[in-house]
Structure 1
Amino acid sequence: MTLAPTTTPAASQSRAALAVLLIGATAVSFSGIFVKISELGPSATGFHRLFLALPLLLLWQGIEARHQTRAPAKPAALRDFWILCLPGLYLAADLVCWHWSIRLTTAATATLLGNTAPIFVTLTAWLLYGERFRPGFVIGLVVALGGVTALLGSANLDPTHLIGNLAGIGAGITYAGYLMTLKIARKRFSTAQVMSWTAVSGTVVMLIAALVSGESLLPPSLEGWAILIGLAWISQVGGQSMIAWALHHLPIAFSSVSMLVNPVATFFLAWFLIGERLTPWQILAGVVVLIGILIARLYSERRG
């Protein structure tokens, strides 16, 4: 006699998707370190993050098209191209805000503020689509915003840190737009297609941003190129692609909670790799933000 399998294929796939999501979020955590030590300006660094990712993404898309039993959907109408390009526009705006935030404040603080995106995703669903949420979500939102306010206050009115923190909040808002448009694009197109088109549209915007800000596009050393390649291949191709794939197989609320590993990992990486130190007040405020996001996401499902 043989025992029946204790797990269903769906449960097994869900566990695999969660593992991929956590690995992807950890890979993305390295991006804060790469940006902090980059020899180029924030916008130019963002340009190379997407531009240097393109060869791998296009290669991946070509391999996928040749080996899949069913050919992936191809964009035909103008609306299809818009759906594929829109995540890249949001991602470019996110990178401009977030990379400047990393330069003007700490990598850990910038990443923490950038990960307030789940709050803005749910607020958008409420304001634009009329979705109603449990009172617990409001409590979590208030707690998270209280933590953000404490982080802003921890800058001691230092203009540089204050601007960096505000840019971090801007990154959270624009990353929310990226996640929502990414989810829409993944409903029709494959991960390789979405990530390739995202990189193409985002690269154009980041190039314009770098040129407008007068930043150099060529790092002066081989080490500078290695940093940019690591940012593009580890964080963008590896991390963001794994997150995009996992989002298609996991509930968005559960995914958002699991991705809280990102700011936590960035904190430890920044501490051990580049010697960043946070004050006890900043650590406490960060914990409050994480708790608030966690509470809000747990209660963010629509009322039945």
Structure 2
Amino acid sequence: MPMKSFNAGAFAALLAGGVAIGFAGILMRLSDVNPIASAFWRMLLAAPVLWAWALATARIDRAAGLRTELSPIVAWSGLFFGIELGIWHLALHYTTVANATLLSNLAPLFIALWLWLAHGERFSRGFLAGMALALVGAVVLIGPSATGGGTHLLGDGLGLLSTTFYAAYQLVVKDARGSYSTARLMAWSTSVTALVLLPFALWMPGPFWPASMAGWLPLLGLALVAQIGGQTVIAYAFAHLPASLASVSLLVQPLTAAVAALAIFGERLGPLQLAGGVLLLCGIYFSKRGHT
């Protein structure tokens, strides 16, 4: 790619967004509310900022012929993301931050599986080899939890389950992006996600409200750092970078999560888990290169 076409600002935004999302698990662990409640507050506190952005650009959206109303496809995106986020936050309650974050990066492989089953899309040998490598890495990563059993295995299983709904969310958002601006789409989707999570946050054992004013800080961090500073910034970067380069964000998120979890919680990946994580990330990276 010629250097003049390389968008350095978008690439920096991509890396910053990946780092921001990498802190999502850390901030959830630092909160004093139940796991589903932390996911709910993440959405609810981010929604006003996103709606302010959406309303500020409403005239531009209408001039461009973009939709501004809530439609079924946007509602589906909020539903899928709500289920994914709830399961993933619950997974963080049972397994390590690194494991949950690594397993969540399997979403591109589930997307590829859907494209093959539903649309008969064919993939290169490089993609298939990368996918196989990623699956081997996932098995190696979960291996110690499977042999030891207990809550870690449950957490890893929930982390793996969350990726299927995250894949569904990404597929729906991809379809909606052609008729909605990023601001309007994220404002609607985030609001629907908050509504989906609310009854489960109230039903789940554990506090729903933070115990003190200081307890709001991790929740604000989830909203501003992970939801807005992470997902929104990456959405901007994806629009200005080739997909093969954008896959670098997959490497930044779990690396950030693993280093931060080690520094804050003392969570260490054993040699086998570390090898599995490396295989998983390399497999996803090469499969995305083989698909683009």
**TM-score normalised by L of structure 1:** 0.88
Give the C-alpha shift of residue 254 in structure 1: 3.9
Report the AA paired with residue 167 of structure 1: L
| 1:3 aligned partner | none
RMSD: 2.1
Output one character per residue of 1:207-228: Cα deviation in whole Å (capped at 9) or x when no partner: 0221232443201022211110
1:204 is the counterpart of 2:195: yes
- SS at 2:66's partner residue? coil
Larger CA deviation: 38-47 vs 238-247: 238-247
Q: Counterparts of 1:25-174 in structure 2 under 5 Å?
A: 25-65=18-58, 70=63, 73-75=66-68, 81-155=71-145, 156-174=147-165
1:249 is the counterpart of 2:240: yes
8 Å CA contact retained: 1:118, 1:256: no
8 Å CA contact retained: 2:17, 2:234: yes
Larger CA deviation: 66-75 vs 41-50: 66-75
Output one character per residue of 1:208-259: Cα deviation in whole Å (capped at 9) or x when no partner: 2212324432010222111101111111011111122223333445423433
8 Å CA contact retained: 1:183, 1:248: no
8 Å CA contact retained: 2:142, 2:273: no
Residue in structure 2 matching 1:24, options 10, 17, 22: 17
Work out the CA distance in 1 between the residues paired with 2:262 and 2:149. 22
Larger CA deviation: 204-213 vs 61-70: 61-70
Work out the CA distance in 1 between the residues paired with 2:164 and 2:188. 21
Work out the CA distance in 1 between the residues paired with 2:231 and 2:68. 22
| 1:229 aligned partner | 220
Work out the CA distance in 1 between the residues paired with 2:79 and 2:152. 26
> Identity rate of aligned residues, in percent?
38
Structure ranking higher in helix proportion: 2
* Pair 1:257–1:173, CA change in 2 (3 A): farther
Give the C-alpha shift of residue 203 in structure 1: 0.4
* Pair 1:87–1:238, CA change in 2 (3 A): same
Give the C-alpha shift of residue 159 in structure 1: 2.1
Work out the CA distance in 1 between the residues paired with 2:223 and 2:51. 14
Consecutive unaligned residues of structure 2, counting only runs of 5 or more, are: none
Work out the CA distance in 2 between the residues paired with 1:148 and 1:292. 10
Consecutive unaligned residues of structure 1, counting only runs of 5 or more, are: 1-5
Work out the CA distance in 2 between the residues paired with 1:7 and 1:297. 22
Residue in structure 2 matching 1:183, options 153, 174, 198: 174
8 Å CA contact retained: 2:68, 2:184: no
Give the C-alpha shift of residue 72 in structure 1: 6.1
Report the AA paired with residue 102 of structure 1: L
- SS at 2:291's partner residue? coil
Give the C-alpha shift of residue 133 in structure 1: 0.6
8 Å CA contact retained: 1:257, 1:297: no
| 1:282 aligned partner | 273
Report the number of matched residues: 290
8 Å CA contact retained: 2:61, 2:68: no
Greater radius of gyration (CA): 1
Output one character per residue of 1:109-132: Cα deviation in whole Å (capped at 9) or x when no partner: 100001111111111111111000
* Pair 1:84–1:252, CA change in 2 (3 A): farther
Larger CA deviation: 243-252 vs 262-271: 243-252
Give the C-alpha shift of residue 105 in structure 1: 0.6
| 1:193 aligned partner | 184
Work out the CA distance in 1 between the residues paired with 2:288 and 2:251. 11
